[in-house]
Amino acid sequence: MFFKKAREDVAAVKERDPAARSFWEVYLLYPGLRAVRMHRRANWFYRHKMFFLARWVSQRCVRKTGIEIHPAATLGRRLVIDHGTGVVIGETTVVGDDVTIYQGVTLGGTGKDTGKRHPTIGNNVMIGAGAKVLGPFTVGDNCRIAAGAVVLDAIPEGCTAVGVPARVVRRGGAKINDLDQVHIPDPVSQKLCEMEMKILRLEKALKENKE
């Protein structure tokens, strides 16, 4: 099981990171993968009620990788944390399979919730650099969260979230293989374009009436 997961993790990194070269380079030198491995140990200690050891492993991970994952968080298979510095994943967070997280991402709470207070991330989700997902809601499967977005509400399956606070552009639920964080539809620009077209039509109608 250990070797199967190791091969699976490395294969996921090589598939999504064009800079990745060899198996051993990824396995030994990539901080995101190291953080995931250390979290598995911390989570095992946590589930067996060895809370001090769980927290010790977690804090050691922070010092070595710059990535903080609470021992109680649930991480799915083939999670890729690219670069990873500044990533924070809270206690009640649930992350699905085939998720990609970039540096500076926070999966956190709002500070006023109890119990389940962190987000649930679906399968095949991309979370761009610096994005913040805050609260006990669900981000559906096959979603993209743009770099710098601040997500404060649930996102339906197959959507893209953009902006502060994040607005949603529906993508029809198709599986997303594109990891581009830049060329993402901007709903504000789209709405402004619609308003501009309406104004032009109204001006044209007024001009025709005057004539």
Q: Report the CATH number at residue 102.
A: 2.160.10.10
- H/E run at residue 198: helix 187-210
Give yes or no for residue 102 having a pLDDT over 80. yes
Q: Which domain holds residue 85?
A: 2-210
Over residues 74-94, the mean pLDDT reads 92
Confidence of residue 57 (pLDDT cuts 50, 70, 90): very high
Total domains in the fold of the chain: 1
Surface-to-core class of residue 67, CB atoms within 10 Å of its CB (0-12 exposed, 13-18 middle, 19+ buried)? buried
Report, as an integer, the average pLDDT of 15-44: 90
Whether 70 and 39 have beta carbons less than 8 Å apart is answered as no
Q: Model confidence at 173, in pLDDT bands (50, 70, 90)?
A: low
> pTM for the complete prediction?
0.77
Q: Choose among 170, 13, 27, 152: nearest CA to 79.
A: 13
Residue 198 in this model has a pLDDT that exceeds 90: no
Instruction: Assign 210 a pLDDT band (cuts: 50, 70, 90).
Output: confident
pLDDT confidence band for 132 (50 / 70 / 90)? very high
Amino acid 11: pLDDT: 87
Output the pLDDT for position 190.
64
